[in-house]
C-alpha cells in the first residue's frame, strides 16, 4: 500500500469527514475497518488522507456509520473519485500546494462568499494590480516566480464566466480601495474593472465603508466555499506561510454569521446600470466613483 507523499486539501477533507462520521457513530478504527474487510492501519491512513479508498468500501463505511443522506454520501464519493487534475495541474511544483488546493476547490464550488480588508479579491484583480501585489510581497522572490503567480491568478478568474459559474458575493472594505498597488493609473483601472465585473449575473460586490457600525477593517479576510449541492462547506483563511482550511460545522457557522454581519453593514451592491438620479442614498458604486474621483 503506497502512501501519498503530498496530501491535497480534497484528500485531507475526505479523511476528516470519514473520521467525523466514525466518531459520531461511536465506533473504533478496528471495528470500522473490520466491517468492510479492511485492516485497522489501512483505515487510519485513509482517515489521514495518506491513501485512497474504493467507492464500494466508502459506501460500506457510510452505511455502517448510519449515514442516510444520499447528497452527503455522493459528495464524499466525488471527493474520493476525483483525480485532482485540472487547468492548475501544470503549476504543480511551481506554486505552493495551498494555491493549487484553492484552485481545485473553486473548480467544484457553487457558491463563494468572501471578505477582504486591504486587497481587492484575487478573482477580481486586474493583471497589473496582481503583479504589483506580488512584487511588493516577500513570498515571491524572482521575476519568473512573479510571472507564474500572475498567470495562475488570471487563469483562476475564468470560473467567473464559465458555463456553470458559481455565485460569487464579495464584501470589500473601503480601505482596499485606497491602498494604491501599482500607482494611480493601475488603481483606476482596477476600480473600473470592479464595476464591470459587478455587471455579471453571478457576481455581487459590496463595499464596507469606514463608517460602518461595529465592524473593523482588521477582521480576518476569509472565503466561504460551498460545493456538492450544499453538502460541503469550507472556510479558507489566507496566511503568508500556509492557508488554513476550516470545515467543522461550528467554525463554518461562525464565519457564515460573520459574513451576514458584514453584508448587512456594507453598502448596497454595485449596480452599474443604475441611473445617477436613483442614487438617493449611499451605495457601493457611489463610493467607488468617489474614490476614483479623488485618485
The whole-number average pLDDT for the span 40-46 is 96
Q: Which residues pair with 111 in a beta bridge?
A: 167, 226
Among candidates 103, 273, 101, 99, which has minimal Cα distance to 198?
273
- Domain limits, the chain: 9-81, 89-294
263-294 pLDDT tens trace: 999 999 998 776 555 555 789 999 999 999 99
Query: Which residue is it, cell 448596497?
Result: 268
| All residues at 6 or more sequence positions from 206 whose CB lies less than 8 Å from its CB, including other chains | 169, 170, 171, 172, 263, 266, 267, 268, 269, 270, 284
Sorted by sequence, the CB contacts under 8 Å of residue 122 that are 6+ apart come out as 130, 153, 156
Distance CA 3, CA 132 (A): 40
pLDDT at 173 over 70: yes
Alpha-carbon span 257 to 262, nearest angstrom: 9
Q: Which pLDDT value is given to residue 233? A: 97
For residue 217, pLDDT over 70 is answered with no
Integer Cα distance of 154 and 149 in angstroms: 9
Supply the pLDDT for residue 138. 80
Return the higher-pLDDT residue of 295 and 269.
269
pTM for the model stands at 0.93
Listed residue (249, 286, 241) closest to 97, CA to CA: 241
CATH of domain 9-81: 1.10.260.40
Band (137; pLDDT cuts 50, 70, 90):
confident
Please compute the mean of the pLDDT values over residues 174-193 and round it to a whole number. 96
What is the CATH architecture assignment of 89-294? Answer: 2-Layer Sandwich (3.30)
Amino acid at each position: 500500500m503506497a502512501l501519498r507523499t503530498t496530501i491535497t486539501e480534497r484528500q485531507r477533507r475526505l479523511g476528516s469527514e470519514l473520521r467525523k462520521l466514525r466518531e459520531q457513530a461511536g465506533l473504533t478504527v478496528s471495528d470500522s475497518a473490520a466491517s468492510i474487510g479492511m485492516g485497522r492501519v489501512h483505515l487510519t491512513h485513509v482517515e489521514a488522507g495518506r491513501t485512497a479508498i474504493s467507492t464500494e468500501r466508502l459506501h460500506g463505511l457510510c452505511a455502517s456509520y448510519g449515514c442516510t443522506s444520499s447528497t452527503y454520501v455522493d459528495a464524499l464519493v466525488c471527493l474520493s473519485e476525483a483525480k485532482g487534475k485540472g487547468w492548475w495541474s501544470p503549476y504543480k511544483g511551481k506554486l505552493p500546494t495551498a494555491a493549487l488546493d484553492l484552485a481545485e476547490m473553486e473548480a467544484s464550488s457553487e457558491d463563494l462568499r468572501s471578505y477582504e480588508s486591504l486587497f481587492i479579491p484575487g478573482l477580481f484583480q486586474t493583471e497589473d494590480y496582481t503583479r504589483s501585489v506580488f512584487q511588493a510581497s516577500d513570498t515571491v522572490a524572482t521575476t519568473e516566480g512573479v510571472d507564474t503567480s500572475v498567470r495562475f491568478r488570471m487563469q483562476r478568474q475564468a470560473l467567473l464566466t464559465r458555463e456553470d459559474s458559481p455565485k460569487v458575493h464579495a464584501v470589500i472594505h473601503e480601505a482596499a480601495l485606497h491602498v494604491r498597488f501599482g500607482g494611480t493609473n493601475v488603481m483606476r483601472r482596477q476600480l473600473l474593472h470592479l464595476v464591470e465585473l459587478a455587471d455579471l449575473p453571478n457576481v455581487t460586490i459590496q463595499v464596507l465603508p469606514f463608517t460602518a457600525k461595529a465592524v473593523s477593517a482588521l477582521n480576518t479576510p476569509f472565503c466561504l466555499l460551498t460545493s456538492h449541492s450544499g453538502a460541503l462547506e469550507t472556510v479558507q483563511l489566507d496566511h503568508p506561510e500556509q492557508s488554513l482550511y476550516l470545515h467543522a460545522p461550528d467554525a463554518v457557522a461562525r464565519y457564515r454569521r460573520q459574513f451576514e454581519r458584514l453584508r448587512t453593514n456594507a453598502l448596497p451592491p454595485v449596480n452599474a446600470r443604475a441611473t445617477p438620479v436613483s442614487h438617493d442614498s449611499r451605495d457601493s458604486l457611489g463610493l467607488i466613483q468617489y474614490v476614483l474621483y479623488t485618485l
